[in-house]
Amino acid sequence: MCPVKNSIRKPSSDRNSESANSVQRRSTTGGLANIEAMSRVASDEAYVLAICDEVFGEISEKQKRFEFLRGDPGKNGARRKLPIDAYYSGLSIAIEYREQQHAKAVAHFDKPNRLTISGVHRGEQRRLYDLRRRDVLPANGIRLIEIDCTDLAHNNRHRLVRDRVRDRQVIEGMLGPLRIAGNYHAASF
């Protein structure tokens, strides 16, 4: 890939029709390189959440944050709201897609040689925040469903193969009982 020289912003009318994460950049050779493949839109997470939206028949709020779900205090003492991958407000259901770094150590994501403000490396902080989501969301009436990358067809690098028919069947198996009942709030926590 060519080194990136500078960013080019699209006119606002064009930006509205594309993902906010889709960015066009000019390479040193003068051509445009679309880096959308590395964006959230093209991620395994977005793929899984799109299938969840299909199964529930509604569009979830992506990267939803709640006042009651916060991280550890930062340098300024403020505690930032932790994001949830997807939230279905009418169903009181949150979905978290768990990539490989949620289940095992991955140096690229964990940054083991660099501590966070909380005094732990990023992998440990992720583990603690995952536990916090598991405790705090149900305590606030929200059912948390975690879909692990190993639940779906994946390669040896834990990237999804994206067999949409099979993946949808698996996800329907996980979410279907919540959808079929019609009374989503009656589902046990």
| pLDDT level of residue 112 (50, 70, 90 thresholds) | low
Q: Name the pTM for this structure.
A: 0.67
pLDDT digits (tens, 9 = 90+) for 176-189: 777 644 444 333 33
Burial of 41 (0-12, 13-18, 19+ CB in 10 A): middle
Least confidently predicted of 115-124, 144-153, 158-167:
115-124
**Cα(168)–Cα(163) distance, rounded to whole angstroms?**
8
Same domain membership, residue 91 and residue 76: yes
Same domain membership, residue 11 and residue 104: no
Angle (deg, nearest 10), helices 44-56 and 164-180: 40
Q: What is the domain range of residue 103? A: 43-186
Return the higher-pLDDT residue of 132 and 13.
Answer: 132
Residue 146 identity (one-letter amino acid): E
| pLDDT level of residue 117 (50, 70, 90 thresholds) | low
Same domain membership, residue 76 and residue 126: yes
Same domain membership, residue 90 and residue 30: no
Cross-sheet strand order for the sheet of 79-88: 61-73, 79-88, 93-98, 143-148
Q: What is the pLDDT of residue 122?
A: 76
